[in-house]
């Protein structure tokens, strides 16, 4: 039983969760830093609690402050959103010890999937294909060189504690390994406090395809099909869609089967996503599991007609999943664009400032998930996501046409945004044809 | 000849990898800003010696603000 939900987040995702709470008649509590006093998410909730100064580590990452806010307001559950504390197993554990429901998986599942080498080992043991690479953390440069020679250059060095592309380095030949190893270790230490690295084979022009899974406390694990998320910059997604175009049925079948087997192997509860790289030959390899709600979850909601956040709340309250696998069908084609306060003309340099003008499209099959409004300040302290534009259609072609038109009608002034790039993406012949891969943005396919 | 090194973006000073007297090459990070979860180096426009650092870690700087002096 849950009565009141505190959302330990800000921006569009806090507003999204509050909406689901209202549908179920649950009370809502917002938390906010001093930079977010005037933010829409604060007004959306029944109550709001100030949790500290603007830097995230003094507010949205301060577990003690957030738990205190829950106690003070009588909130009996916390939804972490994405980012911030959402994949922090110690926070999930602290909630449990405080008698507060953490709306997400168990601390154990978060911890095991959060360590990327442990996650690969567990998934491989469950029969999920993984990218060829080191089975565990690399002891030193010599080990890195030996493993890289075995699997063949080019390779990627990655941080074991990492995510979001931080501490990642591509190495093309043996001579470059030592320098890249030292640099990647430094970056990983600075970002995560832990310099452990592992090595993976670098795949040429792979697609990024992920499977949405959902488990309940009775042990049922289902999938909600795939999302294609290949249009990325700096390993961060810009455009996502479901169904994935031109995905052979046999590959899709393999992906969903592997994802469900992987989630079952760790007794996964609540919403999660297994990310895969898919190469041109149809080989697929597990990348990592995100043990939380994804930014791009609305794509799955629009494609299937199901509400993932409502289901998260129900499952967290101990109810069984209200879905049967056979009844979960992609009925529509859905596409999401992320509008970030970044300048695509300057290599996606952040563009903080104040939104002097904001006009958003509306109409049939157009969904906006926004954390901002005209007049909002876009602070330097947080992720630069302004809003998500999600459209759907009976066919992919209809969805693409609707998206192109909706992007034309977005007006954002005061900060630079990714909109000009997104317009070029949806007009690009390869995107229209559904032939995308993860290196297109960096290779300049959508340059002005 | 001295030259002002200016922040090309608004952000918070994340790290200061140099100190007065350090020799830097063109393109070296003199300070590192953090903005919207990204680390963004403010680079030396040319080779020289750092004469002065005008900011502290944790300080917010505006785009165009002088963060260091190069000579």
pLDDT in tens, A335-355: 999 999 999 888 899 999 999
| Residue A109 domain-assigned (yes or no) | no
Q: What is the CA angle A141-A147-A149, rounded to 5?
A: 100
With residue A77 as reference, give the H or E element that holds it: strand A77-79
Please give, rounded to a whole number of angstroms, the shortest distance from the CA of A378 to a CA of chain B: 9
What's the confidence (pLDDT) of residue A131? 87
- Pairwise CB contact (< 8 Å): A380 & B10: yes
- The pLDDT value recorded for residue A135 is 72
User: A-chain residues within 8 Å CB-CB of B40?
Assistant: 349-350
Question: What are the start-end ranges of the H helices in A266-386?
Answer: 297-304, 308-316
| In a shared domain, residues A332 and A190 | no
Asked whether A104 and A42 are in contact (CB, 8 A), the reply is: no
Domain identity same for A137 and A224 = no
User: What's the pLDDT tens digit per position in A103-150?
Assistant: 999 999 999 999 988 998 999 999 999 988 887 788 899 999 999 999
Judge if A195 and A218 occupy the same domain: no
Residue B66 — very low, low, confident or very high, per pLDDT cuts 50/70/90? very high
What distance in Å separates residue A79's CA from the closest CA in chain B? 21
Same domain, A183 and A222: no
Residue B29 burial (CB < 10 Å; 0-12/13-18/19+)?
Answer: middle
Residue of A nearest to B35 (CA): A380
DSSP code of residue A136: S
> Residue A2 above 90 pLDDT?
yes
Say if residue A80 is in the same domain as residue A184. no
Q: Kindly state whether residues A50 and A82 are assigned to the same domain.
A: yes
The answer as to whether A117 is a domain residue is no
pLDDT tens figures, A387-398? 999 999 999 999
Q: Does residue B9 sit at the A interface (CB-CB below 8 Å)?
A: yes
Q: Is the pLDDT of residue A161 over 90?
A: no
Closest by Cβ to B60, choosing from A380, A382, A384: A380
Lowest-pLDDT choice from A147-151, A357-361, A426-430, A431-435: A147-151
The pLDDT score that the predictor gives to residue A164 is 59
- Select from A55, A190, A383 the Cβ nearest to the Cβ of B36: A383
The two beta strands, A101-102 and A77-79, are parallel
**pLDDT tens digit string along A204-225?**
889 999 999 999 999 999 999 9
pLDDT at residue A191 greater than cutoff 80 = no
Taking each helix axis as running N to C, give the angle between helix A63-73 and helix A89-97, from 0 to 180 degrees, rounded to the nearest 10: 30
Q: Are residues A293 and A425 in the same domain?
A: yes
pTM recorded for the entire structure: 0.88
Nearest residue of chain A to residue B33 (CA atoms):
A380
Give me the pLDDT at residue A342, please: 95
Are β-strands B48-53 and B23-24 bridged in parallel, bridged antiparallel, or unpaired?
Answer: antiparallel
**β-strand partners of B5:** B68
Q: Does B34 lie at the interface with A, CB-CB under 8 angstroms? A: yes
pLDDT at A372 over 80: yes
A60 shares contact with chain B (CB less than 8 Å)? no
User: Is A292 assigned a catalytic role?
Assistant: yes
Chain B interface disruption, residue of A350, A384, A415, A416, most B CBs within 10 A: A350
Residues A93 and A25 in one domain: yes
Provide the pLDDT confidence category of residue A3 given band limits of 50, 70 and 90: very high
Interval A325-338: pLDDT, tens? 999 999 999 999 99
In chain A, the number of structural domains is 3
Of A292, A314, A338, A396, catalytic: A292
Residues A96 and A147 in one domain: no
Residue A190: list chain B partners with CB under 8 A. Answer: 15
A52: left (phi over 0), alpha (psi -120 to 50) or beta: left
User: What stretches of A323-399 adopt beta strand conformation (E)?
Assistant: 333-340, 342-343, 349-350, 353-354, 357-359, 366-370, 377-378, 385-393
Segment B5-21, tens digit of pLDDT: 999 888 999 989 999 99
- Mean local confidence (pLDDT), A71-88: 97
Residue at A289 is within a domain:
yes
Structure tokens at A104: 């997400």
Q: How confident is the model at residue A192 (pLDDT cuts 50, 70, 90)?
A: confident
Q: What pLDDT sits at residue A398?
A: 98
CATH number of A85's domain: 3.40.50.20
Report yes or no on A403 lying in a domain: yes
Q: What percent of chain A clears pLDDT 70, i.e. is strictly above it?
A: 99
pLDDT value for A188: 84
- A11 and A96 housed in the same domain: yes
pLDDT value of position A139 = 87
The answer to the question of residue A369 being in a domain is: yes
Average pLDDT over residues A419-429: 97
For residue A148, being part of any structural domain is answered with yes
Residue contacts between A and B (CB atoms, under 8 Å)? 34
Q: For B35, which of A55, A190, A380 is closest by C-beta distance?
A: A380
Name the minimum distance, in Å, from the CA of A379 to any CA of chain B.
8
* pLDDT above 90 for A416: yes
Say if the Cβ atoms of A341 and B36 lie within 8 Å: yes
pLDDT at res. A96: 97
- 3-state SS class at A3: coil
* Residue A75: predicted pLDDT: 98
ipTM: 0.71
B47-51 mean pLDDT: 95
Tell whether A439 is covered by a domain: no
- Residue B43 contacts A, CB cutoff 8 Å: no
Work out the average pLDDT over A218-234. 96
Instruction: Indicate whether A321 pLDDT > 80.
Output: yes
Residue A448 within a domain: no
Q: Domain limits at B44?
A: 3-70
Asked if residue A167 has pLDDT above 80, the reply is no
pLDDT of residue A442: 87
Lowest mean pLDDT among A127-136, A143-152, A238-247, A359-368: A127-136
pLDDT at A163 over 70: no
Average pLDDT, rounded, for chain A = 95
Domain boundary among A179, A201, A223: A201
Indicate the number of domains in chain B.
1
For residue B28, give the CATH number of its domain.
Answer: 2.40.50.100
Tell me the shortest Cα–Cα distance from A350 to chain B, in angstroms. Answer: 6
Segment A256-309, tens digit of pLDDT: 999 999 999 999 999 999 999 999 888 999 999 999 999 999 999 999 999 999
Is the same domain home to A250 and A174? no
| Residue ranges making up the domain that contains A168 | 132-201
């Amino acid at each position: 039983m849950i009565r009141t939900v505190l959302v330990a987040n800000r921006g569009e995702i806090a507003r999204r969760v509050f909406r689901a709470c209202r549908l179920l008649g649950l009370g809502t509590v917002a938390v906010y830093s001093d930079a977010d006093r005037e933010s829409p998410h604060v007004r959306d909730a029944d109550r709001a609690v100030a949790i500290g100064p603007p830097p995230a580590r003094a507010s949205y990452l301060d577990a003690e402050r957030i738990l205190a806010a829950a106690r003070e307001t009588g909130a009996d559950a916390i939804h972490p959103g994405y980012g911030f504390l959402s994949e922090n197993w110690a926070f999930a554990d602290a909630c449990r010890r405080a008698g507060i429901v953490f709306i997400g998986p168990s601390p154990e599942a978060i911890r095991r999937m959060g360590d990327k080498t442990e996650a690969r080992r567990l998934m491989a043991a469950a029969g999920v294909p993984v990218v060829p690479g080191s089975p565990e953390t690399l002891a030193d440069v010599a080990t890195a060189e030996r493993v890289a020679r075995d699997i063949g250059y080019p390779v990627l060095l990655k941080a074991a504690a990492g995510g979001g592309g931080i501490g990642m380095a591509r190495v093309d030949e043996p001579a470059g390994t030592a320098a890249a190893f030292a640099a990647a270790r430094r970056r990983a230490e600075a970002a995560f406090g832990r310099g452990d690295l592992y090595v993976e084979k670098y795949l040429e022009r792979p697609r990024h395809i992920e499977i949405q899974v959902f488990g309940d406390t009775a042990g049922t694990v289902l999938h909600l099909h795939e999302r294609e998320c290949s249009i990325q910059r700096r390993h961060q997604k810009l455009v996502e869609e479901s169904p994935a175009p031109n995905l052979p049925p046999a590959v899709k079948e393999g992906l969903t089967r592997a994802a469900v087997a992987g989630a079952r192997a760790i007794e996964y509860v609540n919403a999660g996503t297994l990310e895969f790289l898919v190469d041109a030959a149809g080989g697929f390899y597990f990348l990592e599991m995100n043990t939380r709600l994804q930014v791009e979850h609305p794509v799955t909601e629009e494609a299937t007609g199901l509400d993932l956040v409502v289901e998260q709340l129900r499952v967290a309250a101990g109810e069984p999943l209200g879905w049967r696998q056979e009844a979960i069908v992609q009925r529509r084609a859905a596409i999401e664009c992320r509008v970030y306060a970044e300048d695509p003309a300057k290599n996606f340099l952040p563009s903080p400032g104040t939104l002097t003008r904001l006009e958003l499209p509306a109409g049939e099959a157009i969904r906006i998930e926004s954390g901002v409004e005209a007049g909002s300040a876009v602070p330097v302290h947080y992720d630069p996501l302004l809003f998500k534009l999600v459209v759907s259609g009976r066919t992919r072609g209809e969805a693409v046409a609707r998206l192109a038109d909706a992007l034309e009608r977005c007006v954002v002034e005061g900060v630079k945004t990714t909109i000009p790039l997104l317009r070029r993406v949806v007009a690009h012949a390869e995107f229209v044809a559904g032939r995308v891969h993860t290196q297109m943005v960096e290779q300049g396919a959508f340059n002005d | 000849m001295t030259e002002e090194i200016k922040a090309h973006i608004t952000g918070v000073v994340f790290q200061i990898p140099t100190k007065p007297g350090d020799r830097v090459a063109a393109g070296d990070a003199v300070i590192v800003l953090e903005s919207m979860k990204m680390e963004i180096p403010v680079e030396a426009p040319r080779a020289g010696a750092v004469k002065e650092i005008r900011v502290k870690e944790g300080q917010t700087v505006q785009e165009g603000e002088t963060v260091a002096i190069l000579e």
